[in-house]
Structure 1
Amino acid sequence: MSTEIRSYPRRVKTDAGEIEFRHMTAADEAAVLAFAQKLPVHDLLFIPRNISEPKVLSAWIKEIDRGGLVSLLAIKDGAVVGCGTIVRDLLSWSPHVGEIRMVVSKDVRGLGVGRALSQETFALALGSGLEKIVAQMTVDQTGAIALFESLGFKAEALLHDQVRDLAGKTHDIVMLGHNVSKVRAQLEAYGVPEAVG
């Protein structure tokens, strides 16, 4: 997956202080695992796999090394406080579609870190040539839904009882989508194609 449009590491000022965004590597495995294990279980439900499990995180690192995923870390004072990932399956029937998956520490929510991370991840997704980008989350994640809607995502589907938490309770998932190719075509018509990568 191409990421030449943006260069990292990149520092951004937020209300939580200065945040460094950089690509995740195998050297980050222990730090990301520690971050994931501190997240509330409910926050992990809209990610298809439980990233607080060491074997899942190891598989994630291998997929990054293989080039199948691009993951950005948000770092504050040397600790991981967020992660944004672009998932794209070039061998599927939907190689033009990518999914953004994102989690942010409760400690920095409401302080601009999630917004900055979503913007960085979205910019990488745009630069990779995707035609459509999707994101999914539980319906009660109203802050995350509003954040993605502010980037131009629209609700496309509601999946009832889609995920089951560790206590056995099911939760609904909302699927949001952004038709990048349509927006890109509109901007090109107005002479500003660089606005979307």
Structure 2
Amino acid sequence: MSTDIRTYPLRVATDAGEVEFRMMAPADEALVLEFAQKLPVHDLLFLPRNISEPKVLAAWIKEIERGSITSLLAVKSGRVVGCGTIVRDPHSWSPHVGEIRNVVSPEVRGQGVGRALSQETFALALSVGLEKLLVQMTVDQTGAIAIFEGLGFKAEALFRDHVRDSAGQKHDIVVLGHNVAQVRAQMEAYGMGEAVQP
């Protein structure tokens, strides 16, 4: 299993123009807060906590420093336009499992930024040796679901009325999973192991 760590910054051409992917650092806290506070509330519902709150963002930075969260920023013209995060708990019963959480600014949606960010976050998760990956989102985020299905994720669970927005309306959450180890073994059996290498 490859565990070559990917290197950043990485510049990617999108329909929105060139976007730089780089690792989030404590110095990015104000930029990320500005990004999160401009996101529609509905875009934040699949996250366990509201990242537009300064105290939540401060805790996120601490988790990055501790190594349980890895966050990749998509930056365009000095502003954050997307964030891809890998969450894992090496001290849990599932140290081999990571969760990918992606959010993208509405101003660059439909222009390839979300797809590029999802692909890069997926590759980063593979490069750190995770064997299973999960993503979750509200069921109406069909574009994001399609992107992850294109990466080989499959629906594993549906949680009805699982989150409640600020207006009190409940929303369903879908969980998609990707068993990297199983797919890698199947591909290697067919002599195509390089297809799932980062």
- Global fold match (TM > 0.5): yes
Match of 2:134 in 1: 134
DSSP 3-state at the match of 2:52: coil
How far 1:193 sits from its partner (Å)?
3.0
How far 1:117 sits from its partner (Å)?
0.2
Give the 4+ runs in structure 1 shifted more than 4 A. Answer: none
Pairing 1:107–2:107 present: yes
> Once the two structures are superposed, what CA deviation does each residue of 1:27-75 show, in whole Å capped at 9, x if it has no partner?
0000000000000000000111100000000000011011111100000
Pairing 1:8–2:11 present: no
> Once the two structures are superposed, what CA deviation does each residue of 1:111-138 show, in whole Å capped at 9, x if it has no partner?
0000000000000111111111000000
DSSP 3-state at the match of 1:168: coil
Match of 1:79 in 2: 79
Asked whether the equivalents of residues 70 and 87 of structure 2 are also in contact (C-alpha less than 8 Å), the reply is yes
Distance, in Å, in 1 between the alignment partners of 2:25 and 2:195 is 29
Give the count of matched residue pairs. 196
> Once the two structures are superposed, what CA deviation does each residue of 1:85-125 show, in whole Å capped at 9, x if it has no partner?
00001111111111000000000000000000000000011
Asked whether the equivalents of residues 72 and 85 of structure 2 are also in contact (C-alpha less than 8 Å), the reply is yes
Asked whether the equivalents of residues 3 and 129 of structure 2 are also in contact (C-alpha less than 8 Å), the reply is no
Q: Which amino acid aligns with 1:152?
A: G
Q: What RMSD over aligned residues (CA atoms) do the two structures have, in Å?
A: 1.3
DSSP 3-state at the match of 1:176: strand
Pairing 1:156–2:191 present: no
Asked whether the equivalents of residues 3 and 124 of structure 1 are also in contact (C-alpha less than 8 Å), the reply is no
Q: How does 1:7-86 map to 2 (within 5 A)?
A: 7-86=7-86
Match of 2:174 in 1: 174
Asked whether the equivalents of residues 23 and 71 of structure 1 are also in contact (C-alpha less than 8 Å), the reply is yes
Match of 2:97 in 1: 97
DSSP 3-state at the match of 1:172: strand
How far 1:187 sits from its partner (Å)?
2.2
- Indicate the percent of aligned positions where both proteins have the same amino acid: 77
Q: Which amino acid aligns with 2:47?
A: I
Asked whether the equivalents of residues 136 and 175 of structure 2 are also in contact (C-alpha less than 8 Å), the reply is yes
DSSP 3-state at the match of 1:143: helix
Describe the shift of the 1:114–1:3 C-alpha distance in structure 2 as closer, same or farther (beyond 3 A).
Answer: farther
Asked whether the equivalents of residues 127 and 196 of structure 1 are also in contact (C-alpha less than 8 Å), the reply is no
DSSP 3-state at the match of 1:117: helix
Asked whether the equivalents of residues 32 and 80 of structure 1 are also in contact (C-alpha less than 8 Å), the reply is yes
Which segments of 5 or more consecutive residues in structure 2 lack a partner in the other structure? none
Q: TM (normalized to structure 2)?
A: 0.95
Q: Which amino acid aligns with 1:41?
A: V
Q: Which amino acid aligns with 2:58?
A: S
